[in-house]
């Protein structure tokens, strides 16, 4: 019970700092793509920041693993966390650091009690669109025959891809770009399903509340009707008793 409490205290205490580090990672990832002609030291600082943020989330995973009451159960119940920690070590690609950090940030954001489903879905949509745009721009900007050359093209492509509209005016031509497109389409479909399910659940809950209120009012009316009938019967009985008492000699007969 102490270990479980320690794990919960750690997760609550590190929630804010890790989300702040995620914002720093977003800036460090975006700067070299938006400003590719920046000084070399800027690119080095951004790269070090990306690795530092990933290392912080990896250390957070290891601490939570050490504080977990059942470590093997923790590993089995958090496979994406483990994959996100190990993935950049297999092949230190910038895109893998992006994917792993997004996974780790998403897992920690879902555990925050103050973050509602609507806020999480909205943040996930914005984050996926932003990072998808930056990633595909980095991959496709210098590709021969590519048609995604500016940030505006990349944002438009991400929006049409996530919404599964796919106008086709902008499309990736490289294998890695198409892999990004597949991931973005799957994410868009999943988020759309979450939004649809959330709206449906809201309508169902609203209908259930309305039905419960209607049943309560019906039961109240039935109870009032039964009480009125009882009162009428009592009034009729009392009226009959008084009429009998007012007739002379009624009691002698």
Neighbours of 125 (CB within 10 A): 18
Residue 140 is encoded by which pair of tokens? 């496709």
Of the chain, the percentage scoring pLDDT greater than 70 comes to 79
7 vs 139, higher pLDDT: 139
**Is residue 111 helix, strand or coil?**
helix
Tell me what pLDDT residue 33 has. 84
Tell me what pLDDT residue 3 has. 46
Nearest to 179 by CA among 135, 231, 218, 129: 135
**pLDDT tens-digit readout, 97-123:** 666 666 666 666 565 555 566 666 777
23 vs 106, higher pLDDT: 23
| Mean of per-residue pLDDT scores for the chain | 78
**pLDDT tens-digit readout, 152-191:** 888 898 888 888 777 777 888 888 888 888 888 888 888 7
Q: Is the pLDDT of residue 45 over 90?
A: yes
pTM (2 d.p.)? 0.60
Q: Is the pLDDT of residue 92 over 60?
A: no
Q: Is the pLDDT of residue 12 over 80?
A: no
* Distance between CA atoms of residues 25 and 70, nearest Å: 31
Tell me what pLDDT residue 240 has. 72
- Per the CB < 8 A criterion, the answer to whether 134 and 33 are in contact is yes
Tell me what pLDDT residue 2 has. 45
What is the DSSP code (8-state) at residue 250?
A: T
- HSE, CB side, 13 Å, CA atoms: give it for residue 119: 8
Q: Is the pLDDT of residue 223 over 90?
A: no
* Distance between CA atoms of residues 40 and 62, nearest Å: 33
Long-range pairs, 39-46, Cβ under 8 A, ≥24:
none
Tell me what pLDDT residue 100 has. 64
Question: Which residues, 6 or more positions from 228, have their beta carbon under 8 angstroms from its beta carbon?
Answer: none
């Amino acid at each position: 019970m102490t270990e479980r409490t320690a794990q919960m205290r750690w997760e609550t205490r590190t929630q804010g700092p890790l989300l702040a580090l995620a914002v720093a990672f977003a800036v460090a990832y975006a700067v070299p793509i938006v400003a590719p002609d920046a000084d070399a030291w800027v690119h080095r600082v951004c790269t070090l920041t990306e690795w530092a943020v990933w290392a912080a989330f990896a250390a957070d995973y290891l601490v939570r693993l050490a504080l977990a009451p059942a470590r093997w159960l923790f590993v089995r119940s958090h496979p994406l966390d483990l994959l996100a920690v190990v993935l950049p070590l297999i092949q230190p690609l910038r895109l893998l650091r992006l994917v792993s950090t997004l996974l780790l940030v998403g897992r920690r954001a879902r555990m925050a009690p103050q973050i509602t489903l609507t806020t999480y879905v909205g943040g996930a949509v914005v984050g996926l669109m932003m990072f998808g745009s930056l990633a595909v721009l980095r991959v496709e900007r210098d590709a021969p025959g590519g048609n995604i050359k500016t940030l505006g093209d990349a944002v438009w492509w991400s929006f049409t891809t996530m919404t599964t509209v796919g106008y086709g005016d902008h499309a990736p031509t490289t294998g890695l770009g198409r892999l990004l497109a597949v991931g973005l389409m799957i994410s868009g479909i999943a988020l759309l399903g979450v939004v649809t399910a959330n709206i449906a659940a809201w309508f169902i809950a609203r209908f259930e509340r309305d039905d419960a209120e209607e049943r309560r009012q019906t039961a109240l009316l039935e109870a009032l009707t039964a009480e009125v009938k009882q009162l009428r019967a009592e009034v009729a009985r009392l009226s009959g008793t008084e009429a009998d008492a007012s007739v002379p000699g009624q009691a002698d007969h």
